[in-house]
Structure 1
Amino acid sequence: MPNPHLLRTALLACCAIAFAAAHAQTPPGIARVPLDPVLFSNSNQKGVIALDVAGVTREAGREVIAQDGGFILVAGDAHTDPDSDAPSRIVLARIRPQSTPIAVPGGAAAFLDAGFGDGGLRVDAFARTAHSHALHGMVQQPDGRIVLMVRSALLADGPDAPGELLFARYLANGTPDTGFGTAGVVSLPLCDGADCALRQPLSFDLAMEPDGSLLAIASIMKLLPNGGFREIELELRRLHADGTPDLDFGPDGLQAYDDFPGLGEEIGAGQVRLARRADGRIAVVANTLDFDLEGHGTPAVMLLRADGTPDTAFGSGGSRLLPVDPARNAMLPMAIDVQDDGRIVVAGMALAPFSDAPSFFAARLTATGTVDTTFGGDGNVFGDSTPAGDGSDIANAMAHDARGRHYLVGDTGPNAFDPHVGVLRLQPNGAADEGFAANGLARYTELAVQTGITNVFLTNERAFAATVAPTGVLVAAGARVSQDSSDRSEDRLIAFRLLRTELFADDFE
């Protein structure tokens, strides 16, 4: 008999995905921070790139890096089969910083860096053409090399097959680094033999050490032979910069956790996210299996030392439950960020009882794991795109700038069917930054770039990744979807950048 708590947790995790499809019209009072006209588009719309990759039917940007010189590196999933929901390729693109479009055959604006990959693009199947590939992380190592973390599985095995975890490394110019692994790819199986049928991967994340070493985490649901749930386990791997396992970190460079250290709480379904602190400690956020406070889902943060053992001085023996607002039925973490002073911020979506209208939430802990009451008064902050709080708002990504301001980036809208990108900026104390937008939240309903589709009745955009460049510019990536009256849909990978002079009108450099 499946564990009812786990089923409920899994349902909430599904809600996080289902609700991440949200919008309709911009309500009065929601200001829009202008997009950056320096970033060119292939239409009249400035500040947004809509990337249409040849031979691909649908694309989505999952990771973004703001490189030196104003270049933007974007990576994401690509579908080659219009009838399949499984992404089958990975796209890596580098966007030029200049504002003047370059004429190319066909009259399109050349916004890609022609010196990167193949004309600015790299579309990869890693010699596994019968596999689906989903991107779960991208980092740039100190020497400029780029590493992607990809889950790869045979399409014929279905979406729940464990498959393998790939680490693909590219030189700074976008060509495969053949000195890394085999032809530029290191493969780590996510199961072994008969164990494969009992392991279902749920979520992944990637971070990097200052020396280029890789930290990769996976959330794995373990099943009983009869199909029931046994537990959810987190598997944390450390690889040297060259892709070989760090055997000092544990057997095969791996350590596993089946509960939150010191809390006695099991790990639940949903997203797992990690971030490395400046002191070398590793912060991980995930949901607990148990539900407290009359059915409120409780996220928890664990802090690990550099060797993967729990930091027992943090929270209660290494972990801390996030503060849960009594008016919220669930708080589902989607992103984690660490400040320079070691404080840990978690963002995601919060639900009220009997409501299908999630809101942005952010919660902050001190470096030692206590609730940071200087943040929002009780450690929690919520953001809604509609005055009545009945919109559908989900923070998929988070970043902070040099002044300590937090950016929650994701989907916003008054319903759960047509999302548009939303950005909530919070001051260091968690207060909504009214100098950025009304209630601190700006919605971008004009990111759509029409590319040949007529009779469009549905166009929406979603953001999955965000970062603040050294210049202070916020850069994000995601997907744009258009659907016409014949139910023909297309996705485009998008990248966009906010207008710096408006974003930092206080002359912050």
Structure 2
Amino acid sequence: MKKRQTAAKLTLISALLALCGCSSLPPGGAQAVKPDQTQQAPTQQAPQAQQPVRPGFAARDTAAQADGRIVVLGVSGANYVFARYGVDGQPDPGFGVAGEVRLPRTVQTGADVLRLTVQPGGKLLALGGSEVLRLLPDGQIDSAFGQNGRVTAGLPAAPQALATLPDGRVLVAGGSRELSAAPAAPASTLVLTRLLPNGQPDSSFGTGGQVVTAVDDSASAYSLWPLAGGGALVGGTALSFEGGTFSRWVVASYAAGGTLNSAFGDQGVATVRQDRFAATRPSDLAVDASGRVLAAGYLGSGVCTAARLLPTGMIDPAWAYENASALRVLPDGNAPGSGGAKTGISGVSLALLPGNGAALGGCAQFAPDASGQNQIKPVLARLGTNGSPDRAYGNEGFQPVSDSAQVRITAQEKLLVGLDPITEIEP
């Protein structure tokens, strides 16, 4: 794919960024996409950069190392599975046994949330159900982290999201319990935990390393973005039960010490979307080079959607995606028949692209066949700088793929798409 890059001096809007403390620091501490690069419209097809990866287990998350190698986290029976693949898509013999590491799961439930990120220095950090694990770059358990490489104490009761800071500290977000749409159920709150690099609670954050924020009648966090200095943005769902069940996407902005940034949104909590139904979730967050906050997820109707906030936490009036939504979230967050994880938890993922565009994963087009039955067609969606589909990409902004369950961007500015198969393509 032919690209044209022009050098331009990046000028950040310092005053606005100061309002929310936002930075373009990605959750894994990897190199951020360079915002001073622009490119011509890509060709109709998205060329693959390597052979697709087909994990031999139920993949749940992926991460890219700085050198381009791919790490996959999943489950197989009673074990977590970590697998690493070289830039050629083949198992990395220098990782574990034949490219895989298998560790026993403390709790074995099909709905466990699994998240993966790469820390500075190449250590692998994973959220598995109710624990956080860390591996050394060669796949060995990091005995210097928690108890023999695992941390269970001090985490949210219902953890959902994981991120790392450049200094090795760890962020985990979730709820004080599983969020329930039943008005009589016990209420949940947003919970954010920060750990030191050794896995101990960071006493300089909140109370004993944790902050708890009550929003509406009940709430839980589902997405997380680290901010420079140790703060974070947390995306979640808040429910209200007066006169029925109503939900809203919220983003809470926390300073390095754990207090809410009062200049962001309404005293630290911004409203992104409102929905009549409880089944709505902001499943991914990102902050672009100008400090604007992108939130991607799905509504109670199943519509894949994305929204953008200004650095102040106000809705960005220039964002147009809502007027062009034509996608539905994939069932179980995975392509039918792909062999990937069937968790019962759908999700939409987000990757920032050069030039402040974005790619959405976890979505599909539903089109009737000759018999009138809807067929699920997984697609990778590419959005322009204002949120409208990039109509020069694929079919009017939507590129059919084998599996669109997830999208990540590498340090080499290539996209990792899907969970089974995992395909690396040019953006």
Q: Name the TM-score, length of structure 1 as normaliser.
A: 0.59
- The one of 125, 132, 157 equivalent to 2:56 is 125
Alpha carbons 1:422, 1:444 under 8 Å: kept? no
| 1:402-447 alpha-carbon deviations (Å, 9 max, x no partner) | 12111110113xxx3x42221111111211111224xxx6254334
User: What displacement does 1:367 show?
Assistant: 0.6
Task: Give 1 or 2 for the bigger CA radius of gyration.
Answer: 1
- The one of 198, 212, 223 equivalent to 1:321 is 212
**Structure 1 residue matching 2:120: 3-state secondary structure:** coil
Aligned residues: 335
| 1:163-192 alpha-carbon deviations (Å, 9 max, x no partner) | 21111111123222233222221111215x
**Structure 1 residue matching 2:97: 3-state secondary structure:** coil
Change beyond 3 A, Cα 1:338–1:69 = closer
Q: Which residue of 1 aligns with 2:288?
A: 401
Structure 2 spans left out of the alignment, 5+ residues: 4-29, 329-345, 389-427
Equivalences for 1:342-421 in 2 at 5 Å?
342-353=230-241, 355-384=244-273, 393-412=280-299, 416=300, 418-421=301-304
Q: Which residue of 1 aligns with 2:68?
A: 144
Change beyond 3 A, Cα 1:391–1:275 = closer
- The CA distance in 2 between the partners of 1:446 and 1:289, in whole Å, is 33
Q: Which residue of 2 aligns with 1:227?
A: none
1:468 aligns with 2:352: yes
Change beyond 3 A, Cα 1:368–1:69 = closer
User: What displacement does 1:489 show?
Assistant: 5.2
Q: Which residue of 2 aligns with 1:339?
A: 227
| 1:143-172 alpha-carbon deviations (Å, 9 max, x no partner) | 11110111223xxxxxxxxx2111111112
- The CA distance in 2 between the partners of 1:372 and 1:69, in whole Å, is 27
1:495 aligns with 2:386: no
1:212 aligns with 2:122: yes
User: Match for 1:244: what amino acid?
Assistant: Q
Change beyond 3 A, Cα 1:447–1:296 = closer
Alpha carbons 1:385, 1:391 under 8 Å: kept? no
Change beyond 3 A, Cα 1:468–1:304 = same
Alpha carbons 2:127, 2:133 under 8 Å: kept? yes
Alpha carbons 2:175, 2:190 under 8 Å: kept? yes
**Structure 2 residue matching 1:247: 3-state secondary structure:** coil
Q: Which residue of 1 aligns with 2:165?
A: 277
Equivalences for 1:421-440 in 2 at 5 Å?
421-437=304-320
Change beyond 3 A, Cα 1:169–1:98 = farther
**Structure 2 residue matching 1:442: 3-state secondary structure:** helix
| 1:231-268 alpha-carbon deviations (Å, 9 max, x no partner) | xxx321110112111112244322222x45xxxxxx43
User: What displacement does 1:394 show?
Assistant: 2.3
User: What displacement does 1:370 show?
Assistant: 0.9
Equivalences for 1:121-270 in 2 at 5 Å?
121-125=52-56, 133=58, 135-153=59-77, 163-191=78-106, 202-219=112-129, 234-257=130-153, 259-260=154-155, 267-269=156-158
Q: Which residue of 2 aligns with 1:307?
A: 198
- The CA distance in 2 between the partners of 1:374 and 1:316, in whole Å, is 22
Alpha carbons 1:287, 1:300 under 8 Å: kept? yes
User: Match for 2:171: what amino acid?
Assistant: A
Alpha carbons 2:190, 2:236 under 8 Å: kept? no
Alpha carbons 2:239, 2:246 under 8 Å: kept? yes
**Structure 2 residue matching 1:274: 3-state secondary structure:** strand
- The one of 90, 111, 114 equivalent to 2:46 is 111
| 1:78-132 alpha-carbon deviations (Å, 9 max, x no partner) | xxxxxxxxxxxxxxxxxxx97334xxxxxxxx5341x511xxx233325xxxxxx
User: Match for 2:326: what amino acid?
Assistant: E
Alpha carbons 1:481, 1:489 under 8 Å: kept? no
Alpha carbons 1:169, 1:185 under 8 Å: kept? yes
Alpha carbons 1:476, 1:495 under 8 Å: kept? yes
Alpha carbons 1:463, 1:476 under 8 Å: kept? no
User: What displacement does 1:335 show?
Assistant: 0.4
Q: Name the TM-score, length of structure 2 as normaliser.
A: 0.69
User: Match for 2:203: what amino acid?
Assistant: T
- The one of 36, 43, 49 equivalent to 1:100 is 43
- The CA distance in 2 between the partners of 1:276 and 1:123, in whole Å, is 27
- The CA distance in 1 between the partners of 2:149 and 2:277, in whole Å, is 46
Change beyond 3 A, Cα 1:320–1:237 = same
Q: Which residue of 1 aligns with 2:366?
A: 482
Change beyond 3 A, Cα 1:443–1:168 = farther
User: What displacement does 1:482 show?
Assistant: 2.7
Q: Which residue of 1 aligns with 2:8?
A: none
- The CA distance in 2 between the partners of 1:181 and 1:99, in whole Å, is 38
